[in-house]
Amino acid sequence: MEEKKLDLNSIIGFVLIFGILIYMFYINQPTPEELAAQKAEAALQQEADEAASNTPQLPLIAPAVADDLGVPAIDSLPKAPVVLDNELLHLEVSPMGGMVTLAQIKAFKTYDSIPVYLVKDQNAQFSIGLTAKNNSVIQTASLYFLPEISQDAEGNQHLKMTATLGEGASITYHYQVKPNDYLIDFRVETSGVDQVVNTSIPAELSWIQQGIRHSKSVVYENRYTRLTYRHQGDKISKLSDSSDDEEQAEQLHWASYRQHFFSSILAFEVPVENASMSSVNLVKEEDKSVAFTKTNTLKVPLNFQSGSLNTRMFWFYGPTDVAVLAQYKALDLESSIPFGWGIFGWLNRYVFTPMYTFLSDYFPHGIAIIVMTVLVRLAMSPVTYKSYVSQAKMKVIKPEITAINEQHKDNAMKRQQETMKLYSKAGVSPTSGCVPALLQLPIFYALFMFFPTSFVLRQKSFLWADDLSSYDTIAQLPFHIPFYGDHVSLFPILASIAIFFYMMMTTGQNMPTQPGMPNMKFIIYLSPVMMLFFFNSYASGLSLYYFVSNLITILIMLVIKHFILDEQKIHAQIEFNKQQPKKESGFQRKMRELMEQAETQKKLKK
């Protein structure tokens, strides 16, 4: 066998090939401009990958069955979104699915100065499902819509997007955006679909959207993030704000995906017969990495009329602001604001909201809260007066009640009889001080709902508070305290101190202590501590109100005590009442007889 050797010609050949390769690499290396472009592209790809990793995973909508319908391939068609823009909104509508894929509210920023987006990075999905003749389902989310955009003489932008279904059938979305308007006119119509679609089966509208985080506390924001809907005339209902929930509704007018201070609303010109809604809570605990709050879903059947669809709807992307939503009275979108229920909502909607809006036009927002607090406390001063008079009377007869407790400490029934007899003779009611407090509860709860949800307070600063609609922070803790948080808020501390002194002036000194009754000193200390923990992550405007309110109440009580009421006169009046014959009512007589019978039976048993 001949041995193979590497000769000179082979060596020269390899050197030439190697030289040619080096030359080819050299002349084809990227220029500095191309290198910069590659780096920029890599950075964009990295951002896209990060965005994709944070993009919410929405339920997949089944693809359209296109092959069986003869729909042309759409891979080569342009997919760049169509921009609809006015002074308030920036919208992008994708030809793929014909849906809004980006909705930005121009005038507002998030807590960290990022533009406010309600739709972005595939957090929303809109589709209409059509049942084909072969019983497969065509989803418009996977159809290509050919866009046509125009503008009329009034500045209204019109976007017509049409998707073909084959055999001359089509579905068209009509968008109309008006200048300076958050409301978008939206109409769905079909043409010739009875050739390819089973029109005896209603089409199903599906709208899924996840709330994008906008506030520094995602737990606080999620507390006021809720699916609200109007149905059966003027009924307003809500899904749970803290857990997963689902509901069925009849005669649906609109569904609102409220994201605390911003809302995405789908309204129908003619109420739909029935709808199903669900909400999935995505927030478990306070975490800076949480990007979304809730997943809301709406499913609505759309009935065909004479073999076609022609449904008019309205999209609203904007602030949950009374001044804005009140403009759409025909749709009653203002009712989507969480004013509260019953009398509490009435007070918020027709008293406190107009009052504060008026005051904030003339005063800085923090001063407006103080002025409103003064007005509310002055309006409630007669109630405060009656409450203090009752407390003063109880204080006067407290020594006598203490004597009765000591005299009958081993006989609870007799002790109760003698105490009630003293109350009756003195003309004192132990519950009279509670009635004024109960009258103040509607105001307390109404304001409890007003401050965290009032849009006019959003990102308005006062003293050390950067945002009166959120908590103030004077110190950031390196750890998290359960039920308290990882920060220290000053306004709740001040409010707790004011509540402590208020309760010391009332409950601590004036409430008689009887065996079997709760220790009032414990309540004095417990209430401020509960206030401190509960309000640490609440709106600083609310804590400011309670702080000022309690200071004013203390001041009013001091004025009443030192300049209006005279305890000696009260004592003299009570002594005078004791001397007067007291007519016993039928109810009092019956209660006395029952207590005497019970006392007699107790003695017989012994």
Distance CA 396, CA 342 (A): 39
Q: What is the pLDDT of residues 213-239, one digit of tens each?
A: 998 888 888 889 999 999 998 899 999
Nearest to 528 by CA among 492, 490, 499, 554: 499
Stated as kind and residue range, the H or E segment containing 249 is: strand 245-259
pLDDT tops 50 at residue 101: yes
d(CA 587, CA 584): 8
Task: Mark whether 424 and 295 lie in a shared domain.
Answer: no
- Whether residue 100 is found in the same domain as residue 242: yes
Q: How many helices (H) and strands (E) does the chain have?
A: 17, 19
Same domain as 360, residue 252: no
Amino acid of residue 319 = P
Q: In this predicted model, what pLDDT tens digit does every residue of 245-287 receive, in sequence order?
A: 999 999 999 999 999 999 999 999 999 999 999 999 998 887 8
How confident is the model over 53-81, as a mean pLDDT?
52
Least confident of 57-61, 102-106, 251-255, 468-472: 57-61
State the pLDDT confidence band at 61, using cuts at 50, 70 and 90: very low
Q: Which residue has the tokens 């749709």?
A: 331
On whether residue 157 sits in a domain, the answer given is yes
Q: Give how many domains the chain has, as a whole number.
A: 2
Q: What angle do CA 144, 204, 243 make, to 5 degrees?
A: 110
Spatial separation of the C-alpha atoms in residues 363 and 21, rounded to whole Å: 78
Mean pLDDT, to the nearest integer, of 569-575?
Answer: 64
HSE on the CB side for 84, CA within 13 Å?
A: 37
Q: Is 598 inside any structural domain? A: no
178 and 102 in contact (C-beta within 8 Å)?
no
428 token code pair? 């004192």
**pLDDT above 70 as % of the chain:** 72
**Of 338, 366, 383, which one is at a domain's C-terminal end?**
338
537 vs 507, which has greater pLDDT? 537
Q: Is the pLDDT of residue 436 over 50?
A: yes
Report phi then psi at 301, rounded to 5. Answer: -80, 135
Domain final position from 311, 338, 365: 338
Express as a percent the part of the chain with pLDDT over 90: 32
Question: How do residues 323-351 score in pLDDT, each as one tens digit?
Answer: 999 999 999 999 998 888 888 888 888 88
Band of the pLDDT at 590, cuts 50, 70, 90? Answer: low
For residue 118, how far is the Cα from the chain centroid? 14
Ranking 72-76, 78-82, 271-275 by mean pLDDT, the lowest is 72-76
Residue 44 lies in a domain: no
Specify whether 369 is located in the same domain as 513. Answer: yes
Q: Based on the domain organization, do 313 and 228 belong to the same domain?
A: yes
Cross-strand bridge partners of residue 227: 257
Q: Are 542 and 494 within 8 A, CB to CB? A: no
| Best-predicted range by mean pLDDT (426-435, 471-480, 588-597) | 471-480
Q: Is it the case that residue 309 has pLDDT exceeding 50?
A: yes
Asked if the structure places residue 359 within a domain, the reply is yes
Q: Is the same domain home to 453 and 390?
A: yes
The more confident residue out of 17 and 250 is 250
Residue of higher predicted confidence among 456 and 17: 456
What is residue 295's predicted lDDT score, i.e. its pLDDT? 94
Q: What is the pLDDT of residue 48?
A: 44
Given the structure tokens 């209660």, which residue do they identify? Answer: 591
Q: Give dist(CA 490, CA 495) in Å, integer.
A: 9
What's residue 6's pLDDT? 44
Q: How confident is the model at residue 68 (pLDDT cuts 50, 70, 90)?
A: very low
Q: What is the pLDDT of residue 119?
A: 94
429-453 mean pLDDT: 73
Q: Which residue has the higher pLDDT, 427 or 251?
A: 251
What single DSSP character describes residue 283?
A: -
Sorting pLDDT into bands at 50, 70 and 90, what band is 117? very high
Per residue in 122-162, pLDDT tens? Answer: 999 999 999 988 888 999 999 999 999 999 899 999 999 99
Which amino acid, residue 419? T
396 and 334 inside one domain:
no
Can you say whether the dihedral through the CA atoms of 445, 446, 449, 450 is positive or negative? Answer: negative
Confidence band, pLDDT 50/70/90 cuts, at residue 66: very low
Is residue 585 a part of any domain in this protein? no
Within 8 A by CB and 6+ apart from 351, the residues are: 446
393 shares a domain with 533: yes
Comparing C-alpha atoms, which of 340, 365, 368 is closest to residue 224? 340
pLDDT confidence bin for 563, thresholds 50/70/90? confident
At position 184, the amino acid (one-letter code) is I
| pLDDT above 60 for 467 | yes
Residue 12 confidence class, pLDDT cut points 50, 70, 90: low
Residues 328 and 360 grouped into a single domain: no
pLDDT, position 294: 92
Question: Which CATH number covers residue 296?
Answer: 2.70.98.90
Looking at the fold, whether 323 and 466 belong to one and the same domain comes out as no
526 alpha carbon, distance to own chain's centre? 29
**Are the CB atoms for 491 and 472 separated by under 8 Å?**
yes
Nearest Cα to 153, choosing from 188, 183, 179?
A: 179
Residue 145 pLDDT: 93
Q: Indicate the residue type of 187.
A: R
Amino acid identity at 428: V
Q: Which amino acid is at 512?
A: P
Task: Please check the confidence at residue 514 and state whether its pLDDT lies above 60.
Answer: no
What does residue 587 show for φ and ψ, rounded to 5 degrees?
Answer: -65, -45
| Residue 55 domain flag | no
555 and 519 fall within a common domain: yes
Q: How many CB atoms lie within 10 A of CB 502?
A: 20
Question: What does pLDDT average to over the chain?
Answer: 79
Contacts of 145 by beta carbon, 8 Å cutoff, 6+ apart: 95, 96, 97, 98, 161, 162, 163, 173
- What is d(CA 512, CA 433) in angstroms, rounded to the nearest whole number? 13
Give the residue-averaged pLDDT of 80-87.
92
Contact 336, 266 (CB under 8 A): no
pLDDT at 126: 95
Q: Has residue 45 been placed in a domain? A: no
Tokens for 136, please give them.
């497969």
Q: How far apart are CA 158 and CA 149, in angstroms?
A: 6
404, 527: one domain: yes
* Contact indicator for 146, 157 with CB cutoff of 8 Å: no
**pTM for the predicted model, two decimal places:** 0.74
| Cα separations in angstroms, 473 against 172, 466, 467, 549 | 51, 8, 10, 21
Q: What is the DSSP string of 314-346?
A: EEEEEE--HHHHTT-TTTTGGGGS---SHHHHH
- Which range of residues forms the domain containing residue 489? 351-579
User: Looking at the domain assignment, is residue 26 inside a domain?
Assistant: no
Q: In 10 A of CB 436, how many CB atoms?
A: 18
